Structure 1
Amino acid sequence: MEKKALIRKEMINLLKSFDSADKSHQSQKIIEKFLSSEQWRTAKVVALYMSQEFEFDLTPLFGQGEKQIVIPKTLPNRHMIFVKYDKNNLERTKFGILEPKSENAIVPDLILVPGLAWNKEGYRIGFGAGYYDRYLAHFSGQTASLCYDFQQKDFNPETHDISVGEIFTYEH
């Protein structure tokens, strides 16, 4: 647990100090790779997330193709659902993240899972609240994550952690 907290802190610092030109270059290459993937091509309902300023920016994916885009809404007891994205129907949460006002849950085909670090087996370190792990424990669709090259770390998952199906990252 302590190692996760250290990795979490290290990654937030690295992300906040990431050179903007390098970030832009890596983001473009990773998104291109993801958009040509089987997961993206076959999914009809895609769950994205509203990224914080330092996180991987998914904004270019919101207007892509004929996909229905859903985003997470947190609920009491650390649960969440996915709701249709409507830029005119968002509110800022206590975490400072934009979420839908609606509670009309939609189950996605593909979830892009946020995080701070991933190991080679696809396990991730998120922000520590467990929303995604709880949701993914009962999710049978596809999962993927987009991450920068420095976000791959070696760590041991905990018993409640759920791995991501595929990680799209920058290859040098």
Structure 2
Amino acid sequence: MKKKAEIREKMKKCLKSFDLAEKSRQSAIIIDKLTASEVYKTATTIAIFMPMSFEFDETSLITRLTSDKTKRFVIPKTLPARQMIFTDFPYDARDRVLTSFGVTESRSNEAVTPDLIIVPGLAWTLDGKRIGYGGGYYDRYLAHFTGQTASLVYDFQQLDVTSSAIDFEAYDLPVQQIFSAK
């Protein structure tokens, strides 16, 4: 059985050394697939994560959401006890803060419930289970979430195994849809 911790470290290294031209190419394809999908078209409030430099490049998705007046755009905010909420994206830079994780968050504490969450992670199995960073923020939130979930995944992040081959816990929930360049 493969260990999540080992896969997590391997994927971080792969992401940090990922060729920028290939990253850009795959990002464009994946975001086009997402925005053409029914799950995106029917969503009114979309939660995306604010990526670290080596994570999935959501730049063009953020640009689309910013200009699309039919979609509400929310981002995660971490709270004590490894809890998380989503807040409206703060368009004014003075309303943002950089966390100790190196991620941009809103200063607001007004929670918004999305109907689609773009779930981050490091690796995904064929049956949609993801290996995140190990903090459990998304797992805790998703345990009570009734909307749609999706992930944007570079080709090498999709593992060629099912979740039974990895040491997942009962609280590790699969995402409903995976969008990749494949």
> Could you list the per-position Cα deviations for residues 63-88 of structure 1 after superposition, in whole angstroms to 9, with x for gaps in the alignment?
32221000000000000000000132
1:51-72 deviations in Å (ceiling 9; x for gaps): 0000001121123222100000
Which position in structure 1 is the counterpart of 2:38? 38
Distance in 2 between the 1:107 and 1:159 partners?
24
**Contact 2:150/2:179, CA 8 A, preserved across alignment:** yes
Of 108, 112, 136 in structure 1, the residue corresponding to residue 118 of structure 2 is 112
The structure carrying a bigger helix percent of its residues is 2
Question: What runs of 5+ residues in structure 2 fail to find an aligned partner?
Answer: none
* Whole-angstrom CA distance in 2 between matches of 1:62 and 1:39: 17
TM-score of the aligned structures, taking structure 1 as reference length: 0.96
Tell me how large the CA RMSD over aligned residues is.
Answer: 1.3
Is this contact kept in 1: 2:121–2:130, CA < 8 A?
A: yes
Q: Kindly indicate whether residue 178 of structure 2 is the aligned counterpart of residue 167 of structure 1.
A: yes
Number of residue pairs matched by the alignment: 171
Corresponding position: 1:103 with 2:114: no
Q: How many angstroms does 1:159 deviate by?
A: 1.0
Contact 2:47–2:117 at 8 Å: present in 1 too? yes
Instruction: Give the one of 67, 70, 75 matched to 2:71.
Output: 67
The letter of the residue matching 1:74 is T
Runs (5+) with no aligned partner, structure 1: none
**Sequence identity of aligned pairs in percent?**
53
TM-score, normalised by the number of residues in structure 2: 0.91
CA contact (8 A) 2:49 2:118 kept: yes
